[in-house]
Amino acid sequence: MGCVVFAGEAGGVGKSTLAVGVASVWAAAGREVLLVDMDPRHAATRLLQSEPDPALTAALLADVWAEIDDDPLDDSELEHDAVVAASAVPNLALAAGHPSLSQLARLRELERDPDAAFDTLAQLLDRWGAADRYDAVVIDTPGRLDVELAVGLVAADAVVVPTGAALTDLQSLTNAYSFIVEGREVGWLPPSSPVEGIDLVVPTRLTEGSVVARQVRAQLREHGWPVGPTIANRVAIQEASFAAMPAPLADPDSRASQELGEVAAAVSAILEGGS
């Protein structure tokens, strides 16, 4: 089906909740899904009840380490099974996040060819035959426009950005869009990438039925953003997060799960339309 990255510079708007929620909805429907947690704070890994693991960092930086140490590249660190493990959710495999992912930016600066510095996850997914092995790949990224996101974008077919009701969230959308456009101009996002901008904006944490919720959606449309289904502020999501469980599995009949299902369907349509 393809690879979707959940992105944005706004913190705490629900990127990880959406990434894990959408991945869980697909997995529950019988799809084989891989979630890649690119966030050093590894919230998605926690929601899947898995432990943080430095294996993803090791694989993403294997070439840099080899160059620094003047050692041959250790291929075994790049293997699928060295990085990916089953999660608590059936059909959902996880490349766990780890605090060491924050080294990505610093170490990538040592790369001789900066344009090539960001294609490491794309290369790993190729190496693993992810397109055949998985029906979908979901990438979660930290709340900043930095190297983890760039690495995710190069591997992705589509970009989803959750947004809240704050005025700064609108600016954050523009900043995320500019980051992508600049990536294409500068060249780290290669011409072969299908990513051209933001494919879906998901308003999150809005108060259901409120005037401000309507205003946020109207304003997003006015600015020309591709507005998707809304995720209201839901106690069920907070409870699921507290229990370290993906919301769609904690209570499949809740309104939160329905909304996450709607987002999953919207993302499926984008990925299927693009392939």
Ligand X SMILES: Nc1ncnc2c1ncn2[C@@H]1O[C@H](COP(=O)(O)OP(=O)(O)OP(=O)(O)O)[C@@H](O)[C@H]1O
In the complex, the smallest distance separating the C-beta of residue 191 from ligand X, rounded to whole angstroms, is 30
Nearest to 58 by CA among 3, 103, 12: 103
Q: Is 234 in the site for ligand X (CB under 6 A)?
A: yes
Residues 59-118 that bind ligand X (CB under 6 A): none
Q: Which residue has the tokens 């001789």?
A: 112
Residue (64 or 202) nearer to ligand X, CB: 202
Contact residue for ligand X among 5, 205, 254, 261 (CB under 6 A): 205
Quick check: 248 and 261 in contact, CB under 8 A? yes
Tell me the residue nearest to ligand X as measured from the CB. Answer: 143
Q: Residue 174: enclosing H or E segment and its boundaries?
A: helix 167-186
Q: Which residue has the tokens 């294409």?
A: 184
What three-state secondary structure class fits 225?
Answer: coil
CA count, 13 A, side-chain hemisphere, 184: 12
Q: Is 42 in the site for ligand X (CB under 6 A)?
A: no
Residue (9 or 119) nearer to Mg ion, CB: 9
**Stretches 26-34, 62-70, 231-239, 263-271: which one binds ligand X (CB under 6 A)?**
231-239
CA count, 13 A, side-chain hemisphere, 1: 24
First-residue to last-residue Cα distance in the chain: 7
Burial code of 75-105, b = ≥16 C-beta within 10 A, e = fewer? eebbebebbbeebebebbbbbbbbebbbbbe
Contact residue for Mg ion among 43, 130, 161, 237 (CB under 5 A): 43
Q: Is 16 in the site for ligand X (CB under 6 A)?
A: yes
Question: How many whole angstroms separate alpha carbon 246 and alpha carbon 168?
Answer: 28
Quick check: 41 and 172 in contact, CB under 8 A? no
**Stretches 11-19, 167-175, 209-217, 219-227: which one binds ligand X (CB under 6 A)?**
11-19
Residue (47 or 59) nearer to ligand X, CB: 47
Compute the residue count for the chain.
275
Residues 149-168 that bind ligand X (CB under 6 A): none
Question: How many whole angstroms separate alpha carbon 147 and alpha carbon 218?
Answer: 32
Q: Is 254 in the site for Mg ion (CB under 5 A)?
A: no
Question: How many whole angstroms separate alpha carbon 145 and alpha carbon 76?
Answer: 31
Question: How many whole angstroms separate alpha carbon 2 and alpha carbon 31?
Answer: 12
In the complex, the smallest distance separating the C-beta of residue 6 from ligand X, rounded to whole angstroms, is 8
In the complex, the smallest distance separating the C-beta of residue 234 from ligand X, rounded to whole angstroms, is 4
**Stretches 74-82, 168-176, 178-186, 235-243: which one binds ligand X (CB under 6 A)?**
235-243
Q: Is 172 in the site for ligand X (CB under 6 A)?
A: no
Residue (143 or 248) nearer to ligand X, CB: 143
Tell me the residue nearest to Mg ion as measured from the CB. Answer: 16
Interface positions with ligand X (CB under 6 A): 11-17, 39, 43, 142-143, 204-205, 231, 233-234, 237-238, 241
The footprint of Mg ion (CB under 5 A) covers 15-16, 43
